[in-house]
């Protein structure tokens, strides 16, 4: 099949590359010319394990290409996937600017091809993969129809994406389920053909609004579990309980399960924060005030402050944080990605700079992206070795649970720090090992050492 992917970010590039791997001819379109030229050279502009090799192989075998030219891309295509960003607007609603632009671009490209007498053999299937509020699919249909001025040239489907950064290739090629919303048999049949690499029982067909809603409900449930456990951790700290013990015991209850039960310094990323807010917003627009979603977001915003609060408390009797040097391990919002969008580390950096502290930050993959979001800031230094970050610092803070931070040379860290203080936002170390190694150690939902 000839397939077109609109938007070559985490979702679009993974989708396009994986669909090419299954033998389709895939063209990825992006409006960002520099991104397209990077991709054409075989480089992936972000870190995603396994993606670069697969991308290069499919390019070399002629099944995967990149362009800014939507007209040529859509010629003879059987389906196009809208994979553009849907960021938060300032009021928390989903900003559909990119989706609306992509819809109009599709319409104009179809129009140009029709005018040049290159009408596609069958109506093209327009699939909305971007996470977007209930009703977006209908709006896309309307935007395209208005611009095109013709009917019968396209059919619609909703196919929200559930891949996770860090395991995106496996998540796409071996999905736990594929959610597909359609309102016509033709669209259903085309989606079935595209996903023929998946066991049929994993394809969950439903109406379009339910498909759109499913993605938000799933992300909101996961975010709720995280905020719930963070709430439990904060209570544990105050009453002398240990959140790790709680988690282990709770996880053995099959009604609860063991996933998403880790307390920490809050969730970030390009999905949970914005999706919780967008769901709350479109619920409110439809007349429903979701108190759970409001609380989940508020608990998370507060949790992103805990690292700074703990640091401030430690330095309160030492003249505050001004002029202190803080080593920071981890910038990405989670391990195995270079994505720093809404990362707790970025909140901490901002607070520390406001308090006139100096930061020596390390991350195995996310330094370029953090630099892109934060710009060059006085008092913020990036290091390519975790021990360089610790050298001469007054404290070490851990914000991301990368594997390389799990078993560091604690003796070396102790020696390099000017005072042996660790604030651990991911509960990486046991209290006993910290005690033995001679650190003052503060984590989340556990006793301090």
Ligand X SMILES: NC(=O)c1ccc[n+]([C@@H]2O[C@H](COP(=O)([O-])OP(=O)(O)OC[C@H]3O[C@@H](n4cnc5c(N)ncnc54)[C@H](O)[C@@H]3O)[C@@H](O)[C@H]2O)c1
Distance from C-alpha of 418 to C-alpha of 438, rounded to nearest angstrom = 13
C-beta closer to ligand X: residue 369 or 424: 369
Q: Which two tokens stand for residue 246?
A: 């709680």
CB of 449 to ligand X, least distance (A): 35
Residue 29 near residue 6, CB atoms below 8 Å: yes
Give the residue with the Cβ less far from ligand X, 95 or 183. 95
Taking the least distance from each CB to ligand X, the nearer of 163 and 194 is 163
- Minimum distance of ligand X from residue 178's CB (angstroms): 13
Nearest approach in angstroms of CB 62 to ligand X is 22
Cα distance between the two ends of the chain: 60
Shortest Cβ distance from residue 163 to ligand X (Å)?
5
Identify whether 18 is a catalytic site residue.
no
C-alpha angle 334-338-342 in degrees, rounded to nearest 5: 60
Those residues whose C-beta lies under 8 Å from the C-beta of residue 373, and which sit 6 or more positions away, are: 340, 341, 346
Shortest separation between residue 11's beta carbon and ligand X, angstroms: 4
Which of 36, 423 has the CB closer to ligand X? 36
Residue whose C-beta lies closest to ligand X: 9
Min dist. Cβ of residue 7 to ligand X (A): 3
Between residues 35 and 351, which has the closer beta carbon with respect to ligand X?
A: 35
Q: Which is nearer to ligand X, 270 or 360 (CB)?
A: 270
Q: Give the active site residue among 18, 236, 271, 314.
A: 271
**Residue numbers at the binding site for ligand X (CB under 6 A):** 6-12, 29-32, 35, 83-86, 98, 101-102, 105, 130-131, 161, 163, 165, 270-271
CA nearest to 424, candidates 386, 396, 392: 396
Cite the active site residues.
271
């Amino acid at each position: 099949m000839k397939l077109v992917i609109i938007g070559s970010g985490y979702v679009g590039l993974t989708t396009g590359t994986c669909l090419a791997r299954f033998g389709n001819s895939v063209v990825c379109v992006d409006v960002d010319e520099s991104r397209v030229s990077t991709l054409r050279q075989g480089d992936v502009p972000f870190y995603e394990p396994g993606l670069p090799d697969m991308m290069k192989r499919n390019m070399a075998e002629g099944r995967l290409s990149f362009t800014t030219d939507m007209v040529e891309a859509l010629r003879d295509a059987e389906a196009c996937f809208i994979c553009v960003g849907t960021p938060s607007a300032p009021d928390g609603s989903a900003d559909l600017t990119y989706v609306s632009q992509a819809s109009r671009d599709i319409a104009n490209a179809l129009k140009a091809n029709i005018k040049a007498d290159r009408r596609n053999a069958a109506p093209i299937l327009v699939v909305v993969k971007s996470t977007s509020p209930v009703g977006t699919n209908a709006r896309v249909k309307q935007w395209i129809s208005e611009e095109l001025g013709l009917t019968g040239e396209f059919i619609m489907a909703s196919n929200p994406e559930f891949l996770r950064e860090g395991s995106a290739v496996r998540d796409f090629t071996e999905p736990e389920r594929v959610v597909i919303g359609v309102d016509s048999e033709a669209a259903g049949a085309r989606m079935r053909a595209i996903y023929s690499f998946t066991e049929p029982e994993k394809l969950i067909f439903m109406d379009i609004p339910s498909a759109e809603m499913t993605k938000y409900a799933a992300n909101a449930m996961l975010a709720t579990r995280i905020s719930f456990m963070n709430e439990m951790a904060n209570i544990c700290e105050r009453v002398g309980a240990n959140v790790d013990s709680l988690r282990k015991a709770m996880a053995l209850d099959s009604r609860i399960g063991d996933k998403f039960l880790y307390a920490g310094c809050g969730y970030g990323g390009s999905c949970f924060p914005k999706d919780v807010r967008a769901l709350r917003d479109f619920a409110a627009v439809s007349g429903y005030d979701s108190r759970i979603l409001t609380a989940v977001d508020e608990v998370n915003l507060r949790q992103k402050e805990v690292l700074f609060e703990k640091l401030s408390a430690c330095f309160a009797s030492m003249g505050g944080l001004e002029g202190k040097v803080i080593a920071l391990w981890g910038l990405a919002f989670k391990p195995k990605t270079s994505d720093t969008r809404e990362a707790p580390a970025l909140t901490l950096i901002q607070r520390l700079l406001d308090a006139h502290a100096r930061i020596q930050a390390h991350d195995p993959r996310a330094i370029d992206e953090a630099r892109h979001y934060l710009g060059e800031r006085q008092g913020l230094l990036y290091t390519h070795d975790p021990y360089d970050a610790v050298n001469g610092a007054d404290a070490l803070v851990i914000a991301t649970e990368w594997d390389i931070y799990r078993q560091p040379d604690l003796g070396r860290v102790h020696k390099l720090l000017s005072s042996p203080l660790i604030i651990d936002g991911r509960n990486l170390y046991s209290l006993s090992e910290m005690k033995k190694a001679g650190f003052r150690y503060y984590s989340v939902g556990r006793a301090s050492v």
